[in-house]
Amino acid sequence: MRFGVPDGDMPDSLPPPGWGPAPFDERDLDAVLDGNTADVTVALRPVAEALAALRAGPAAAELYGEADAMAEFRSLGLGQAGRPATTMPLEALPAGAPARPGRRPARHRVRPARRHPLRRAVLRPAVLSAAAAAAVIVVAVLVPGNFAGPLRVIAHMASPSAGASFPKSSTGRSTAPGVETTSAGLETTSPPSPAQSTASPQSVLSNSCRAYYSYYQHPEGLSSWLTELSLWDQLTKLVGTDKRTKVYQDCAPYVKDLFPGGVPAAAQNQLPGRPGQESKSNGDVGQQSGAPANSRNGSGSSTVSNGQASSGQASSGQGDPAGGGSNP
Amino acid sequence: MVGEDFAALLGAAQRGSEQAFSVLWRDVNPALLRYLRVVASEYAEDVAAETWVQVVRGLPRFTGDETAWRAWLFTTARRRLLDQVRLRKRHPSEPLDEISPMDIPRTADAEQVAMDNMATESAMALLSKLPEQQAEVVFLRVVAGLDTEAVAELLGRSPGAVRVAAHRGLKKLATLLSEAGVTL
């Protein structure tokens, strides 16, 4: 009995609680912190289990913020790797950085000076004037060769009726009633031109006559017809009159071999280009030969040789329009 | 912990891979939330969101291994937490009406989820009974997976002080568990 307690109730052979070595040391604690729970002491096993529960997998509530984080990830320009690019990413260069090789530095565009309206207004008429002058020159070169003929054709076509109404002399004077006319100058021959004076007048006349009357042997197209008109003009100048009978009389010696079967009437009285059209006059070669032209057919064809085309009016202001249309 | 694939995941995330970023986020965010709930439960969600915003902004410039990644993330979270605590002290706010438990949305397996998370929630509740510094050190060592040196740098203490705090915390935790009658 000791301190009022029997010896069998509290034997002193057992150590008091808390005595003896500690149940774990610092190495065991470090092992638990590092997650090594294999050799952990029994005293630390509840602690190790609690720490393992802290390392457990995520709960659903712990993953709710992923959408917000992903939105921030995308808003900062990231998160576009798996998507098709809508814009081309450009490299951001700091200010003053040298340009990348292979690219020209940017330049300011220089706008062309706007042309003043007044200057344009001045230049436009000048350009138009120059173009018009060039066109006139071209026409002046081309018209005498190509278009003089047709104009004369028109004059010749109008001449028979006009000549029937208002016989004109070679000088252009009208023979309309009330107008005194004279035929003194009808037989005159115009002086030879300087070009003709250089060659023999007979040879020139012969060539012109043969060239002109050969048309009646071989009537051709329009181009030949125009040529004949030119020859006719030349011939009238050589003969000095535009009367066809007179012209033929002068050309007869040179063209008789062209018509061995007889000279057609058209060759004497008809206009070139209108073969087949009979003249109002009676064109007998034998009768016309050597006869005055105006005495035979009583009509003088108005030609363009004097620059006037008869159209029923008296030329040079000498004719009387009111009295036209009747043959005296 | 991601492990050996961390470098590849980080590089992919820095190049803009959403999948890689999602893996990193899912790996760290649960531990981050548990840490914040233990340290400052009322700011945990907001601080976690602000932490990820700053982490995403600095992600293209981050270099380091997984330990450095976690240390950077938890350091950012701790700084955001301190900012939040200072802000709440300067601008105190009244909480809104408490939501009735009957109004909390329930899922079909809410009970099972609760049973699964019971151990974690119980452990977090037990750890919350530790002194703040000891609990923080234990969480950073256990949940964040940081070593003593990283935790020391994060908390601005010496490694020896961190080690002592961790050991004291574990001993306290063992005592609490013994007092609670948890035996194995």
Model confidence band, residue A106 (pLDDT cutoffs 50, 70, 90) = low
Q: At A197, is the secondary structure helix, strand, or coil? A: helix
pLDDT given for residue A162 in this prediction: 41
A165 pLDDT above the threshold of 70: no
pLDDT tens by residue, B58-95: 999 999 999 899 999 999 999 998 888 888 777 776 65
Kindly report the CATH number assigned to the domain that includes residue B85.
Answer: 1.10.1740.10
Q: Please tell me whether residues B129 and B62 are part of one structural domain.
A: no
- Kindly state whether residue B99 falls inside one of the protein's structural domains: no
Say what the pLDDT of residue A229 is: 74
CA atoms of A294 and A259, how far apart (whole Å):
25
Average pLDDT over residues A226-248: 80
What is the pLDDT averaged over residues B32-55? 88
Is position B72 within any domain? yes
Lowest mean pLDDT among A163-172, A318-327, B8-17, B153-162: A318-327
Q: Which of residues 16-55 of A touch B (CB under 8 A)?
A: 24, 26, 29-30, 32-33, 35, 42-47, 49-51, 53-55
- B84/B2 same-domain check: yes
Decide: A232 and A212 in contact? Cβ < 8 Å.
yes
B112 touches chain A (CB under 8 A): no
Give the mutation candidate from A73, A80, A83 for the B interface (greatest B CB count, under 10 A): A73
Contact list in A for residue B141 (CB cut-off 8 A) is 33
Percentage of the residues of chain B whose pLDDT score is greater than 90: 40
B161 pLDDT higher than 90? yes
Q: Is the minimum CB–CB distance between A56 and chain B shorter than 8 Å?
A: yes
**Mean pLDDT calculated for residue range A175-191:** 40
Per-residue pLDDT averaged across B32-46, rounded? 86
- Examine residue B4 and state whether it is found in any structural domain, yes or no: yes
- Length of chain A, in residues: 328
Give the pLDDT score at A158: 46
Mean pLDDT (chain B) is 83
Distance from CA of B89 to the nearest CA of A (A): 26
Assess whether B18 and B77 both reside in one domain: yes
**Which of B117, B147, B172 to mutate to probe the A interface, most A CBs <10 Å?**
B117
Burial status of residue B66 (CB atoms within 10 A of its CB: 0-12, 13-18, 19 or more): buried
pLDDT of residue B25: 92
Residue B39 has pLDDT above 60, yes or no: yes
Verify that B87 and B148 share a domain, yes or no: no
Q: Is A39:A48 a contact under the CB 8 Å cutoff?
A: no
Is B105 a domain residue? no
* In chain A, beta strands by DSSP E: none
Give chain B's domain count.
2
The band of A311, judged by pLDDT with boundaries at 50, 70 and 90, is very low
Query: Average pLDDT for residues A211-239, to the nearest whole number?
Result: 71
The per-residue pLDDT for A214 is 75
Interface of B with A in 64-103 (CB under 8 A): none
- A58 and B166 in contact (C-beta within 8 Å)? no
CB contact under 8 A, B167 and A76: no
Q: Which of residues 128-157 of B touch A (CB under 8 A)?
A: 138-139, 141-143
| Residue B48 sits at the chain A interface (C-beta within 8 Å) | yes
Q: Is residue B143 part of a domain?
A: yes
Spell out the residues 6+ positions from residue A141 whose beta carbon is closer than 8 angstroms to its own.
none
Say whether pTM exceeds 0.90.
no
Range of the domain at B153: 122-184
Residue B138 forms part of a structural domain: yes
- Please tell me if residue A92 touches chain B, with a CB cutoff of 8 Å: no
The predicted pLDDT at position A263 comes to 61
Q: What is the mean pLDDT of residues A99-127?
A: 63
Same-domain pairing of B85 and B130:
no
List the CATH number of the domain containing B135: 1.10.10.10
Q: How does residue B16 score in pLDDT terms, banded at 50, 70 and 90?
A: confident
Report the range of poorest mean pLDDT among A70-84, A98-112, A311-325, B70-84: A311-325
Q: What is the mean pLDDT of residues A10-25?
A: 64
Indicate yes or no: CB of A29 within 8 angstroms of CB of B56.
Answer: no
Strand, helix or coil at A83?
A: coil
Residue A8, min C-alpha distance to chain B (Å): 30
Q: Quick one: pLDDT at residue A257?
A: 78
Of B117 and A257, which is predicted with more confidence?
A: A257
Stretch A214-240: mean pLDDT: 71
Contact of A282 with A244, CB cutoff 8 Å: no
Kindly report the backbone phi and psi dihedral angles of residue A5, in degrees, each rounded to the nearest multiple of 5, phi listed first. -120, 135
Query: Per-residue pLDDT for B156 more than 60?
Result: yes
The per-residue pLDDT for A121 is 59
Same domain, B54 and B130: no
Assess whether pLDDT exceeds 70 at residue B170: yes
- Say yes or no for a CB contact (<8 Å) between A53 and B173: no
pLDDT at residue A198, as a whole number:
53
What was the pLDDT predicted at A266? 54
Q: Are residues B80 and B7 in the same domain?
A: yes
What residue of A is the nearest CA neighbor of B115? A59
pLDDT value of residue A94: 65
CA nearest to B123, candidates A131, A198, A310, A49: A49
pLDDT at A244 over 90: no
